[in-house]
A = this chain, B = another copy of it.
């Protein structure tokens, strides 16, 4: 499994979100080394309170069999919040690769306590992108994490 290839695709999604005036968080869902869903945060673009990057990627993957989810790897540019972590648990996604958790620490401990394999890449591009965004639009960022 080449994490670099897939985290780059998640970063591409985050950049699309930024170009659209949105929050730069992206995600891809990978099954058998192939992307089956990709997405980015849609709070601004769709006025959505549920389409975080991970949720958008899952939604775009469409309805999958339970057996498929249980063989997937989810890549996300940022540590998943409680909503996205709860969704990972609902569908039994066994492995999550996280671009960074320096600018926001989500529910990694909850995921690990339920047996999910969690890897943190601490990718510089992910960290820089979020730091810049949070500095530029703190109110939008706070809204996205319920603060």
A49 at the interface (CB under 8 A from B): yes
Within 8 A of B (CB), among A28-65: 43, 47-51, 55, 58-59, 61-65
Within 8 A of B (CB), among A73-92: 81-87, 89-92
Given contact pairs A49-B91, A81-B90, A82-B87, a sample of 8 additional A-B residue pairs in the complex whose CB atoms are under 8 Å apart: A50-B55, A50-B59, A66-B146, A69-B146, A82-B90, A83-B87, A83-B89, A86-B89
Please name all residues of chain B whose beta carbon is closer than 8 Å to the beta carbon of A143 when the two chains form the complex. 63, 65-66
A136 at the interface (CB under 8 A from B): no
A-side interface mostly:
helix
Please name all residues of chain B whose beta carbon is closer than 8 Å to the beta carbon of A86 when the two chains form the complex. 81-87, 89, 107
A105 at the interface (CB under 8 A from B): no
